Chains A and B, each alone.
Chain A
Amino acid sequence: MLLAVGSALSVSAPLAAQDSLASTASPPAQAPAAQPAAQAPAPESPGPLERKVSLNLRNVTLGDALKEINRQAHLGLAYSPKVVPLNQRVTLQANDITAGEALQRALEGTDVEIQVGQTGTVFLVRADRKAAAGVHGEGMIGGQVLDSATHERLDEVQIVLQNTSFSTVTNQYGIYNFYHIPPGRYTILARRIGYAPVSKPVTVVDSIRAEVSFALVSKPTRLTEVVTTATGPKRRLELGNDIAVIDADSVTRTQPVTNVTDLLDGRVPGLVVQRTTGAPGDPGRIRIRGASGVLTNNDPIVIVDGVRVYSQQSNARGANLAAGGFPAPSPIDQIPVQSIETVEVLKGPSAATLYGADAANGVIVITTKRGKPGPAQWSVTADRSTTFIPGRYADDFLRFGHLAADGTPIACQLTTTVGAPEQHQVANLCIADSLVRFQALNDPTLTILDRGARTAGTLGVIGGSETVQYAVTGTYENEQGPVRLPALEVTRYQLSHDGAALPDWMQRPEQFTNWGVSSRLTARVSQKADVAITAVLNRGNQQRSSLESQIQSLMGTYVDRTTGQYFQPDLSGQLLQPLDGALSNYYTRVTDNATNFTNGLTFNWRPLIWLTASADAGINVIHREDASLLPRGALLTNGDSVGRAVDGRATSVVSSINLRATSTTQLGWGLRLQTSVGANYTNQSIDDLTADAFDIPLGATSVGSRFVNTQITENSAEQATFGWYVEPTLASRRFWLSMGLRLDGGNAFGGNVRLISQPKLSPSWLISDEPWFPFKRVFNTLRLRAAYGRAGVQPGPSDRLRLFNSPVTGPVDGQTGGTTTLHSFGNTQLRPERSTEFEGGFDADLLSDRVTLTVTGYHKTRDDALLEVPVPPSVYGGGTVIKNIGVIRNTGFEMSLGAQVVRSDLVTWSTQFGLSHNYNKVVSLAPGVTAFTTDVASGSRIVAGYPLNGKWSKPVVGYADLNGDGVLVSNEVIYGDSLVYLGPSEPDYTAQMSTSLSLFRGALSITGDFQLQNGLTQTGSFSQLLGVSRGANDPTAPLAEQAGVLAARSGADNFLNSQTVRMLRFNSLSATYNVPASFARHLGARAMSLSLQGTNLGLFTNYRGKDPGVNGAITGDFVRDTGVLPQPRTWQVRVNASY
């Protein structure tokens, strides 16, 4: 082993080395590119051995003497203790002698010889080595490896003498040596991950030490990216997990991304976005590696610049608090996407253990843009887009007829319910007259679908000095949704309201306005400390109305053009009652105004070389003002239009503190130990108040204090969690082993806190750097990794208790007093749920880094899963009780493949492909827990052996047209008695492909991306439209469709209406033209670009409904398409300029 004498912190390598990094034995032409002038050696600098020292050493060890000489002369002395007899006693007294002379006197009597390397490092080598080499016909190669830009000495650089068995790595001073090399010509290769490999020829001459040094050019790869972990930033290479990193700044500049959900959608294998509706501002729920829980939601936690923010989307607060039938904008999307620099996604417990108990569903780490030293750089972006619902809705059918007896108009359906209507059919009492096909949503005079528009702008500035940097981003967007009240209805309203004008919100209800300011200030407090302050303020205003919900009824409305009458058959399709108009409800306005404020402070301190510490503290406050309003007198239909106003005020406050410290020390034998310890505390409180008033005064728009019939409901809760952890990481040159343990606690009713321990373990092995690795021609890098981790979630603070509602005082049975009723059943047996995940995989760069491949497999198990189990109505009328229901598992793999197909100056074409598979399964249910339904409307059930919330229905076993009349009746269809499994609630396969083409040296770039999903079982909106389905009306309808209608009417409705969906969506296309710099300058800009961008440009699916990607289930994990607004298509023009 070669030992080095010198401080690792010193960078005062002899400057003379900078010009002589090439091999002394190689031609000058092989020298690397000239170094920057500032780094050129000073001509008058003395050689290291010429530096003067003064010594007064009496009977000291040779080792101490060498240290003193090195201290005075800054030699960067390197030697091996096997060569130098360090314990030998020496006496050395001299003033102002050269270091070389001092060394010679100190080494007198030893067989050690002094050599000076090209870089100025002084080596002490065995004197007989040179002689021996000469004797045996052998030579020696040595040198040093530096970073070409920073001139830092690079350790762990792999040095390979190609076509030989010789290989080694550089030590912490960047030095390497080969001994006993037979004379001859060789090629020597230096490579280190994150740098471009360099090879040089070298000629070894008998008994001569050939020096070959390298200056490696940094070439960051995916593996050398620095990612944020709970214990601080680390190279991806050192982690056993796959962490997805999205360069948000780059994506938002070139692609049509409007919020954080858009940014995540389709860019992270294993991450699925469940869209709600296509209304502006509506959220998407994020699921990472499948769902594992129902009670404990499946939302990942979100951290912005170290600050935990409120991110729950799947509980009741995910809906508008004043009108629960509408989703509220996502808190995640209130973070201005243009202010984000990177988003990192940690996918499960194996990666997120140290983030705490509720990180089992993954962690999304958002880092906002940071400033850069230099003058202020301004950037401006302006967007203008148009939106519309693409495609046509499928036709519906209606078979008009009359009763033979009295001519009463009736819908003569083919297949009807048991009982009287079918008697009509059988007895030929119903005489069919005509069959019509119709679809009001495709009719421009009837439809409520129209074009929407969006305008958005961003203004940002980045700059600062060496000590203080800043970044400020301001955003604004305004969107009008693609829903409009048709002119016919406007006229009808005015006729029935004495010509009163409709308020704007009734005619164009969907409006969404969002503005935000994000700033980040970083400052160096001292050489050892710096501080960062983040402040994000955002305000979103969403408005919509019940007009949206008319999509479902409108698609089943037939208009008789000859009479002007509207018909909406009921669910059984029997009644034919003409209506005054197509729309029955567009009178309720729903608004959600949210103000989101996040403030964070990060303090980094490096008190000692081996110790760093940091602290994050922050607060996130979201204040919501939700409201719904049915104005008094707005209803067309009856005289009791007394109006209703509901106001909700909701505040969530999340405060978090994270403390961590990391020590690093060298253990010897090439091992390094990095130990991190940390603690964090999170407190989340919500305080919601809703006031619901009937019979509001004329003109009132909100709940007033004097309203008589007002009901107040309140919901408040506070939950605090804390934890501390320790994470030692053992690192060698190619191997990293990280272990960790976290202890978690939280508050509970009564204050009894029980800590949960959560271990983790993750090895990472850069196998391609092993000398014996046989596939170096193919793999530039190959890293194997694995990770194990656990996270646990405590039940809620009061979940174990049987609670009673607070008494209501009033007369009951003639007595005045309190009345108390049961609030919740409670369960004293509740245990924390535990999520355990194992993942393993590899990362590879192949074919000269043209191809990158990442493959990960995972196995995530949630034991003692907490679930709100429905209680049958026979127990206290129903409700739910929380139970540990059993074991839920997600197993799957993720693959990411990136390729630079064409890489030239003129054209660059790169493609990224991602594929993920997730198999979700309820492995077992706890004793006493049997299969049960979680959502009746979608048929979602929890059954051991099947996916969580899988769709179930009674089946149609068979059917036959026994009488040959082409029409099925109920006795010609056989139904199964038992429920059968139809499919999962989440897709089992997802794939994404994005491709980017850069032409004309980057002047024109085109990007596009596609998303594929397979396996999602959607319960469709057509379930509500049996009465107008083809199978119910058209005598030529296939028997299967007729059987489906009969099944639906016999309790097997989901068998017909649930469909396992395949869909390929052409998600976006963007073409950006970079305006020539001269033209940009003419406009006063440094650079300028124009983009034409489109989203949702194509949908290829087997789905019978409109859009399988939307979800009318606002909370929970169910999937239901109940005729909600589909995702619109968008075309957008964007101008981007920087100054």
Chain B
Amino acid sequence: MGTIELRSFNRRAGARAMAAALLLAALGGCSVDGLVGDASLPSGVNDPVATETPEGALSVYRGALAIFATAFGGVPAGFAPTTFIPVTGVLSDELQDGSLIGLPPAAFNLAGVDIRLLPQQTNPDLETFTGTPSVYAALQQVRGQAQEALGLLRDFPPQASPALQSHVYAIEGYSEVMLADLYCSGIPLSTLDYKGDYTLRPGSSTGDVYEHAAALFDTALTLAGDSARFVGLAQIGKGRALLALGHFADAAAAVQAVPDGYTYAVRYGPAAVPQNFGRMPAPSLTWDFSVSDREGGTGLDYRGSADPRTASTGVGVNIGGVALFHPDKYGADGMSPIVLADWVEARLIEAEAALQAGDAATWLAKLNHLRETAITPALADTTDPGTADARVDLTFRERAFWLFLTGHRQGDLRRLVRLYGRSPDQVYPIGIYPGGGAQYGSDVTAPIPAAERVSNPQFTGCLSRGA
């Protein structure tokens, strides 16, 4: 037995604690840095520094073009084609949802869009479908990517950077025009600051969005330099925006310099943007839509007219036994380019402006100029129907046929209501929905998705659901 007297605080206590600490330090605390090391980035992503080079700027620029191509008429890999051209085609009189007509509602369809029932609530057709970005999200993503690209092109300029910036401004402008064409008044144009944060915006009216787009096209024109391709793209875009605003003369002026033969088409290929609109991903290439014919009684006779501009071919029947028609202007391989802007549209804008100015002769000449030169073999000249309304009808019919399935028809139908005083029931499909028994609804615009309402405090909802 030892003998320990505990008279007061044992001074060895501190030493013992220290000894224990030193032991631990020796065992484990010495080289934690070596143990931990640097973290690695998740796979599939790049440090932003990697983009901050001329090559990086170029890659982000191309990213903007790729996203736009998808949002416009492509199919996100592995997902359904709920992008701008199919959706606006289904809402208007161009297309019907082939998986719906004659059938009970399936999990994948654009039922609400086709039947014009788009209540201001969560709408799976326009929000997301098994991860598919909605048209709204896709077009807004184009705007965001464009803003990133513009920052990089400015700060890390590759060769011919101003022209590329012009291209990006124009693409951003088109995405805004498309947003304004499809969605209700009150679209937020939030911004993504290059290298910085983002700024949320309240909803802008339809007119304001077109105005903003026109300003973007103006900027594009100032940067385009001698690039005829980008100049024409910006000019037609500006003309389209001004036309939507009812500024007919300005619109005509904007496209006046677009030469005959000019075409800007969005290309689709097997890699970055594998499919064009309306087809499921390769290799199935299934077609879930059908070209309409006098849809709802008010729709145009895209099939019945036998017009080569809207020719279509039967591709069998769906499981409800309803025949489906595929447009001839797009190949079955899903790789056809889709025209975004061309001289035909420029001349159509000029024709409409002439009609608005009371110059029926110029109007008719412009229309017939196209029929004679824009297609082979040439179409027979059209004649003046003589009345104002009929002239308007002819103008829009010509636009619908020339611009068939290029994403213009929905904007045109809204213009007919907004600028020409037509009622929605005069221009949009009405009556009994084909095969389904229910009646068409009355919506002419899509609501802003709920995701915007619930996460953007500055956004309070659609300002108007009218045209």
Interface of A toward B, CB cutoff 8 Å: 3, 5-8, 10, 12, 63, 66-67, 70-71, 74, 76, 81, 403, 408-410, 417-421, 423-424, 568, 570-572, 574-577, 579, 610-611, 613, 615, 637-638, 640, 642, 657, 659-663, 665-668, 673, 675-681, 683, 692, 694-695, 708-709, 711, 713-722, 724, 726, 728, 745-751, 753, 797-798, 801-815, 817-826, 869-878, 881, 930-933, 936-937, 941, 1049-1051, 1053
**Most chain B CB within a 10 A radius of its CB, from A726, A819, A1051:** A819
What residues of chain A lie closer than 8 Å to B41, measured between beta carbons?
749, 797-798, 801, 803
Of B86-94, B354-362, B393-401, B448-456, which stretch is located at the interface?
Answer: B448-456
Could you tell me if A642 and B284 are in contact, using CB atoms closer than 8 angstroms?
yes
What residues of chain A lie closer than 8 Å to B351, measured between beta carbons?
none
Could you tell me if A873 and B452 are in contact, using CB atoms closer than 8 angstroms?
yes
**B136 close to chain A: CB less than 8 A:** yes
A814 to B282, CA, bound (A): 20
1/0 contact trace for B20-45 toward A, CB 8 Å? 11011101110011011111111111
**B5 close to chain A: CB less than 8 A:** yes
A66 to B459, CA, bound (A): 90
Could you tell me if B134 and A873 are in contact, using CB atoms closer than 8 angstroms?
yes
Choose one: A3, A7, A657, A814; the contact of B5 (CB below 8 Å).
Answer: A3
A680 to B58, CA, bound (A): 46
A801 to B50, CA, bound (A): 12
**B387 close to chain A: CB less than 8 A:** no
Choose one: A695, A717, A751; the contact of B283 (CB below 8 Å).
Answer: A695
Among residues of A, the one whose C-beta sits closest to the C-beta of B17 is: A675
Could you tell me if B454 and A820 are in contact, using CB atoms closer than 8 angstroms?
no
Could you tell me if A708 and B283 are in contact, using CB atoms closer than 8 angstroms?
yes
What residues of chain A lie closer than 8 Å to B9, measured between beta carbons?
667-668
What residues of chain B lie closer than 8 Å to A637, measured between beta carbons?
319
Q: B398 → chain A, closest Cβ, in Å?
A: 29
**Most chain B CB within a 10 A radius of its CB, from A5, A575, A750:** A575
Could you tell me if A804 and B36 are in contact, using CB atoms closer than 8 angstroms?
no
Q: A568-B104, A820-B59 are in contact. Are A875 and B200 (CB under 8 A)?
A: yes
Q: B443 → chain A, closest Cβ, in Å?
A: 8
Among residues of A, the one whose C-beta sits closest to the C-beta of B288 is: A640
Could you tell me if A667 and B13 are in contact, using CB atoms closer than 8 angstroms?
yes
What residues of chain A lie closer than 8 Å to B4, measured between beta carbons?
7-8
Given contact pairs A637-B319, A683-B35, A876-B145, a sample of 7 additional A-B residue pairs in the complex whose CB atoms are under 8 Å apart: A661-B24, A673-B17, A812-B272, A813-B266, A821-B67, A872-B190, A874-B187
**B237 close to chain A: CB less than 8 A:** no
Q: B285 → chain A, closest Cβ, in Å?
A: 9
**Most chain A CB within a 10 A radius of its CB, from B7, B50, B187, B454:** B454
Could you tell me if A798 and B39 are in contact, using CB atoms closer than 8 angstroms?
yes
Among residues of A, the one whose C-beta sits closest to the C-beta of B337 is: A814
Q: B255 → chain A, closest Cβ, in Å?
A: 22
A716 to B189, CA, bound (A): 35
Could you tell me if A819 and B272 are in contact, using CB atoms closer than 8 angstroms?
yes
Pull 22 A–B residue pairs with CB atoms less than 8 Å apart, ordered by A. A70-B3, A420-B441, A577-B105, A611-B23, A638-B319, A661-B21, A661-B23, A667-B10, A673-B17, A681-B35, A715-B42, A749-B39, A753-B33, A803-B48, A804-B46, A805-B46, A808-B272, A820-B59, A823-B44, A824-B45, A870-B455, A1051-B121
**B417 close to chain A: CB less than 8 A:** no
What residues of chain B lie closer than 8 Å to A745, measured between beta carbons?
32, 36
Q: A81-B7, A667-B13, A875-B140 are in contact. Are A820 and B20 (CB under 8 A)?
A: no
**B177 close to chain A: CB less than 8 A:** no
Q: A321 → chain B, closest Cβ, in Å?
A: 15
Could you tell me if B62 and A812 are in contact, using CB atoms closer than 8 angstroms?
yes
Could you tell me if B78 and A424 are in contact, using CB atoms closer than 8 angstroms?
no
Could you tell me if A820 and B62 are in contact, using CB atoms closer than 8 angstroms?
yes
Q: A673-B17, A719-B39, A803-B47 are in contact. Are A817 and B24 (CB under 8 A)?
A: no
Q: A568-B104, A659-B24, A813-B267 are in contact. Are A694 and B284 (CB under 8 A)?
A: yes
- Shortest 7 CB-CB distances between A and B: which pairs? A810-B271, A876-B144, A877-B141, A420-B439, A797-B39, A933-B454, A577-B104
Q: A726-B21, A874-B140, A875-B190 are in contact. Are A70 and B1 (CB under 8 A)?
A: yes
Could you tell me if A611 and B16 are in contact, using CB atoms closer than 8 angstroms?
yes
Could you tell me if A722 and B36 are in contact, using CB atoms closer than 8 angstroms?
yes
What residues of chain A lie closer than 8 Å to B286, measured between beta carbons?
640
Could you tell me if A665 and B13 are in contact, using CB atoms closer than 8 angstroms?
yes
What residues of chain B lie closer than 8 Å to A695, measured between beta carbons?
283-284
Choose one: B10, B120, B267; the contact of A665 (CB below 8 Å).
Answer: B10
Choose one: B44, B121, B451, B454; the contact of A805 (CB below 8 Å).
Answer: B44
Could you tell me if A417 and B59 are in contact, using CB atoms closer than 8 angstroms?
no
Could you tell me if B436 and A575 are in contact, using CB atoms closer than 8 angstroms?
yes
A817 to B443, CA, bound (A): 42
Q: A715-B43, A936-B451, A1051-B119 are in contact. Are A874 and B35 (CB under 8 A)?
A: no
Q: B18 → chain A, closest Cβ, in Å?
A: 9
**B241 close to chain A: CB less than 8 A:** no
A67 to B144, CA, bound (A): 86
A758 to B268, CA, bound (A): 56
What residues of chain B lie closer than 8 Å to A667, measured between beta carbons?
9-10, 13
Q: A418-B119, A570-B105, A711-B77 are in contact. Are A804 and B455 (CB under 8 A)?
A: no
What residues of chain A lie closer than 8 Å to B105, measured between beta carbons?
570-571, 575, 577
A74 to B138, CA, bound (A): 89
Interface of B toward A, CB cutoff 8 Å: 1-10, 12-13, 16-17, 19-21, 23-25, 27-29, 32-33, 35-48, 50-51, 56, 58-60, 62-63, 65-67, 69, 77-78, 103-105, 111, 117, 119-122, 133-134, 136-138, 140-141, 143-145, 148, 187-192, 195, 198, 200-201, 266-267, 269-273, 280-284, 286, 318-319, 432, 436-443, 449-452, 454-457, 459
Q: B122 → chain A, closest Cβ, in Å?
A: 6
Could you tell me if B59 and A615 are in contact, using CB atoms closer than 8 angstroms?
no
Could you tell me if B1 and A10 are in contact, using CB atoms closer than 8 angstroms?
yes
Q: A969 → chain B, closest Cβ, in Å?
A: 15
A663 to B120, CA, bound (A): 68
Among residues of B, the one whose C-beta sits closest to the C-beta of A724 is: B29
A804 to B190, CA, bound (A): 20
A665 to B14, CA, bound (A): 9
Could you tell me if B13 and A751 are in contact, using CB atoms closer than 8 angstroms?
no
What residues of chain A lie closer than 8 Å to B16, measured between beta carbons?
610-611, 663, 665, 675
What residues of chain B lie closer than 8 Å to A661, measured between beta carbons?
20-21, 23-24
Q: A453 → chain B, closest Cβ, in Å?
A: 33
**Most chain A CB within a 10 A radius of its CB, from B45, B148, B457:** B45
Q: B196 → chain A, closest Cβ, in Å?
A: 9
A887 to B62, CA, bound (A): 42
Choose one: B37, B42, B454; the contact of A717 (CB below 8 Å).
Answer: B42
Q: A820-B59, A874-B452, A1051-B120 are in contact. Are A7 and B457 (CB under 8 A)?
A: no
Choose one: B24, B120, B318; the contact of A678 (CB below 8 Å).
Answer: B24
Among residues of B, the one whose C-beta sits closest to the C-beta of A577 is: B104
A806 to B40, CA, bound (A): 14
Q: A803-B47, A812-B62, A875-B190 are in contact. Are A577 and B455 (CB under 8 A)?
A: no
Q: B310 → chain A, closest Cβ, in Å?
A: 26
Could you tell me if B23 and A819 are in contact, using CB atoms closer than 8 angstroms?
no
A571 to B32, CA, bound (A): 58
What residues of chain A lie closer than 8 Å to B195, measured between beta carbons?
802
Q: A870-B451, A1050-B119 are in contact. Are A875 and B42 (CB under 8 A)?
A: no
A676 to B284, CA, bound (A): 66
Q: B14 → chain A, closest Cβ, in Å?
A: 9
Choose one: B7, B36, B43, B140; the contact of A714 (CB below 8 Å).
Answer: B43
Could you tell me if B39 and A679 are in contact, using CB atoms closer than 8 angstroms?
no
A210 to B137, CA, bound (A): 92
What residues of chain B lie closer than 8 Å to A826, measured between beta carbons?
48
Q: A657-B28, A746-B36 are in contact. Are A930 and B13 (CB under 8 A)?
A: no
Could you tell me if B17 and A663 are in contact, using CB atoms closer than 8 angstroms?
yes
Could you tell me if A876 and B62 are in contact, using CB atoms closer than 8 angstroms?
no
Could you tell me if B44 and A820 are in contact, using CB atoms closer than 8 angstroms?
no
Choose one: B2, B25, B62, B78; the contact of A817 (CB below 8 Å).
Answer: B62
